[in-house]
Chain A
Amino acid sequence: GAGVSQSPSNKVTEKGKDVELRCDPISGHTALYWYRQRLGQGLEFLIYFQGNSAPDKSGLPSDRFSAERTGESVSTLTIQRTQQEDSAVYLCASSLEVGGTGELFFGEGSRLTVL
Chain B
Amino acid sequence: DAKTTQPTSMDCAEGRAANLPCNHSTISGNEYVYWYRQIHSQGPQYIIHGLKNNETNEMASLIITEDRKSSTLILPHATLRDTAVYYCIVKSSGTYKYIFGTGTRLKVLA
Residues on A lying within 8 angstroms of B by beta carbon are 4, 31, 33, 35, 41-43, 45, 48, 50, 55-56, 91, 93, 98-101, 103-109
Contact = CB atoms under 8 A, between A and B. Distances in A.
Interface size class of B (residues with CB under 8 A): 20 to 34
B28 to A, nearest CB: 15
Given A99-B93, A101-B32, A101-B49, A4 B43 contact: yes
A49 to B, nearest CB: 10
A42 B102 contact: yes
Interface of B: 2, 32, 34, 36, 42-46, 49, 87, 93-103
B49 A42 contact: no
Given A42-B100, A42-B101, A108 B32 contact: no
Contacts of B49: 101, 103
A45 B46 CA distance: 17
Contact of B44 (A31, A98, A106): A106
Contacts of B36: 104
Contacts of B99: 45
A46 to B, nearest CB: 11
A43 B100 contact: yes
A103 B35 CA distance: 10
Contact of B46 (A55, A105, A109): A105
A35 B100 contact: yes
7 residue pairs, one from A and one from B, having the closest CB atoms: A106-B43, A103-B46, A43-B100, A42-B102, A98-B96, A42-B100, A106-B44
